[in-house]
Amino acid sequence: MKFFIDTANLDQIKEAQDLGVLDGVTTNPSLMAKEGITGDENVIKHYLAICDIVDANVSAEVISTDFESIIKEGEALAKLNEKIVVKVPMIKDGVKAIKYFTDHGIKTNCTLVFSAGQALLAAKAGATFVSPFLGRLDDIGTDGLGLIEEIRLIYDNYGYETQILAASIRHSMHVIECAKLGADVMTSPLSVILGLLKHPLTDTGLATFLADHAKAAAAAKA
Ligand code: G3P
C-alpha cells in the first residue's frame, strides 16, 4: 500500500519524507489556503518547494472547471516538474480533461469522488488515481469504506489500472480497513501516519527491556 501525505505544510511533508515511508503528496486548494499560500505565483513556488522535498509524486489541483481552462492549467502544472500529477475534479469537463491528459501522457488524480459510478467514469477516462473521499461520506452518515470495497470490486472485474487512492482519511483504523479492502494508496494527515506507530504494549515493553538491560549492566559492574 502506498502512503501519501495530505497536506501543503512543508515541515510535515519533510517529517514524513524523513520517516522513509512516503510515496507521494496530495494537496488541494483548501490545504494550500490553510498554509496561507495565495496567488498563482506563490502557489507554483509552493508546488516546486514540495517537489524539492519529496522523492515521490505530488498531486496539484486545477481550479478551472471548463475543459479548455483545465487543459491549459493542467499542462502548465505538469510542466513544472515530472513529479506533478494533475488533480482534476469529478465533473463532466473534468472527465473529458482526464481523457485528454491520459492521451497526452500526463498523470491524473480524479478528485471529489463519492460514488462507484464516478469511480467507473474516472477509470474509463484513464485516470492514474481515483480519490474517493471516505471521511466526508462517513461525516454524513454513509459508508465510506463500503465505497472503497465497491470500487475495488469493479476495477478488479475489468482490470482497470487506475489506482484507488483512499482520501479524506480521518484516523488509523481507516488506513487499516483500506489496506484490508485493497486500496492501492491512502492519503492522510501526518498525525494519522504517526498514529499507526502507537501501541501501549510497545511502550511498556520497551520500557521493561531498557530497565532490564540497565539492571543487568549495573549488576555486572557491581
Ligand atoms: O485531499 C483530499 C481529501 O483528502 C480531503 O480530506 O479531511 O478535507 O475531507 P478532508
Task: Give the number of the atom of ligand 1 that is nearest the alpha carbon of residue 26.
Answer: 1
Q: Whose CA is nearest to atom 10 of ligand 1?
A: 168
Active site residue 14: no
Please give the distance, rounded to the nearest whole angstrom, from the Cα atom of residue 7 to the centre of ligand 1: 9
Nearest partner of 177 among 152, 209, 154, judged by Cα: 152
**Ligand 1 pocket, mutate which of 28, 31, 174, 191 (most atoms under 8 A from CB):** 28
pLDDT tens track for 152-183: 999 999 999 999 999 999 999 999 999 999 99
- Residue 7 Cβ < 6 Å to ligand 1: no
Task: Give residue 54's pLDDT.
Answer: 96
Task: Give residue 135's pLDDT.
Answer: 97
Q: What are phi and psi of 159, to 5 degrees?
A: 70, 30
- Residue 26 Cβ < 6 Å to ligand 1: yes
- Residue 168 Cβ < 6 Å to ligand 1: yes
Task: Give residue 55's pLDDT.
Answer: 92
- Residue 129 Cβ < 6 Å to ligand 1: no
Q: Which of 2, 79, 87, 221 is catalytic?
A: 87
| Beta bridge mates, 132 | 113
HEC string of the chain? Answer: CEEEEECCCHHHHHHHHHHCCCCEEECCHHHHHHCCCCCHHHHHHHHHHHHHHCCCEEEEECCCCCHHHHHHHHHHHHHHCCCEEEEEECCHHHHHHHHHHHHCCCCEEEEEECCHHHHHHHHHCCCCEEEEEHHHHHHCCCCHHHHHHHHHHHHHHHCCCCEEEEECCCCHHHHHHHHHHCCCEEEECHHHHHHCCCCHHHHHHHHHHHHHHHHHHHHHHC
Query: What residues in the chain have per-residue pLDDT under 50?
Result: none
- Residue 59 Cβ < 6 Å to ligand 1: no
